[in-house]
């Protein structure tokens, strides 16, 4: 089973890139972030024509997450929204159970974690609270011992080697000690950073800003992660970054990250 995560930075603008990626990589599950549209505006026809079922949690102009599941795999138990704060109306979390003939069930979540900037605003405490809610929910899901993949744009640079210039991010919410500590607490629940488990090299990035020639200078950061429960990690075969998609015309500033798991 191939599972990809991709912050598409507007699904309506990037639907051509998305369908080309589906044809090229043939992922079984795709976790999308930053749809930037309401559910009724998602280009479902194009995605369904590519052979995928689509479940979304959209929001006008901002946020938005989706799960795409390639047929004949089946998606059930869809949950929209991260538990723990009924007042939170931001569209940042969707999960479901994916299974099929000869494929053991895997619970997959698409997550768009808050950016948190500026740090001095209410956005940073919201980011940290979201991470804590995610940690608690992950622990509850892991109690069922069903393989779990928490995939998405975490807006966290875990380590200095995950940035081309760590000093440039020192005071940014993505690299603040509080954000990194909260991410480590999430991992401490028993989750595995799939990409780092397969590729520990420096210089592996998933995001390049549109400004200051970041792409051409390879001034990137790694903020898109797939975290695996022990049961999912036992099935891990490989993890990779589809870096070439950042070089497309009018690309997203993120690229897909893909893991391959044994079917059973």
Bind-site residues: 7, 34, 153, 155, 253-254
Q: Which of 153, 162, 172, 193 is catalytic?
A: 153
Q: Which of 52, 112, 154, 205 is catalytic?
A: 112
5 to 22, 110, 125, 232, 238: CA distances (angstroms): 12, 7, 25, 16, 14
The torsion region of residue 262 among left (phi > 0), alpha (psi -120 to 50) and beta comes to beta
> Rounded to 10 degrees, what is the CA torsion of 171, 206, 149, 238?
-130
**Active site annotation includes 112:** yes
**Active site annotation includes 205:** no
Q: What does residue 184 show for φ and ψ, rounded to 5 degrees?
A: -65, -35
Residue list, annotated binding site for Mg(2+): 7, 34, 153, 155, 253-254
Span between the terminal Cα atoms of the chain, in Å: 9
Q: What does residue 90 show for φ and ψ, rounded to 5 degrees?
A: -80, 135
Residues 32 and 50: beta-carbon distance below 8 Å: no
Which of the 8 DSSP states describes residue 163?
B
Q: Would you please indicate which residues are annotated as catalytic (active-site) residues?
A: 112, 153, 254
């Amino acid at each position: 089973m191939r599972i990809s995560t991709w912050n598409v930075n507007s699904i309506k603008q990037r639907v051509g890139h998305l369908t080309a990626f589906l044809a090229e990589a043939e992922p079984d599950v795709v976790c999308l972030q930053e749809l930037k549209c309401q559910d009724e505006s998602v280009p479902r026809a194009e995605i369904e024509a590519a052979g995928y079922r689509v479940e979304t949690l959209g929001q006008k102009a901002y946020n938005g997450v989706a799960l795409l599941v390639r047929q004949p795999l089946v998606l059930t138990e869809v949950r929209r929204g991260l538990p723990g704060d009924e007042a939170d109306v931001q569209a940042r979390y969707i999960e479901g159970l994916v299974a099929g003939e000869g494929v053991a069930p895997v619970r997959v979540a698409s997550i768009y974690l808050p950016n948190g900037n500026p740090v001095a605003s209410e956005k940073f405490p919201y980011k940290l609270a979201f991470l804590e809610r995610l940690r608690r929910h992950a622990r509850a899901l892991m109690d069922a011992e069903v393989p779990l993949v928490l995939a998405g744009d975490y807006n966290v640079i875990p380590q200095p080697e995950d940035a081309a210039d760590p000093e440039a991010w020192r005071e940014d919410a993505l690299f603040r000690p509080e954000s990194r500590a909260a991410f480590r607490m999430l991992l401490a629940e028993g989750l595995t950073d799939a990409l780092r488990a397969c590729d520990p090299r420096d210089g592996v990035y998933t995001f390049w800003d549109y400004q200051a020639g970041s792409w051409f200078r390879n001034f990137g950061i790694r903020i898109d992660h797939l975290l695996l429960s022990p049961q999912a990690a036992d099935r891990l075969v490989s993890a990779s970054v589809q870096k070439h998609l950042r070089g497309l015309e009018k690309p997203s500033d993120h690229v897909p990250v893909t893991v391959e798991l044994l079917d059973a």
